[in-house]
Amino acid sequence: MLVTTYDLDGTPGPTLDLRRVDPVTLVIGQEPVLAVAHWGMYMALTLPGRLVLVRVADYERLVGYRCAPYQLPR
């Protein structure tokens, strides 16, 4: 799935191919996604040597479920 990436300040960057190899493995191009974190309007994807931001909606479309932030009980 082609997704627009974003810089840390929210500026659109290049469009990259983000896909699922299996239920637990994501890759961008040929690089494996090592970690994923919710970051405001974006999902932060950690790749070897760099960080890539994609919109939450694009990530949710790829994985097939909502990634809404949760609140810890008080």
Tens digit of pLDDT per residue, the chain (74 long)?
A: 999 999 888 899 999 999 999 988 999 989 999 999 988 889 999 999 999 999 999 999 998 888 766 555 56
Work out how many domains the chain is built from and give that number. Answer: 1
- The verdict on pTM exceeding 0.75 is yes
* 70 domain residue, yes or no: no
CA–CA dist 59, 4 (Å, integer): 11
* 51 domain residue, yes or no: yes
Q: CB under 8 Å to 58, separation ≥6 — which residues?
A: 1, 3, 4, 18
CA–CA dist 14, 21 (Å, integer): 21
- The three-point CA angle 49-55-31 to 5° equals 30
Question: Tokens representing 25?
Answer: 């493995």
Query: Strand pairing partners for 46?
Result: 35, 51
Domain boundaries, position 44: 2-63
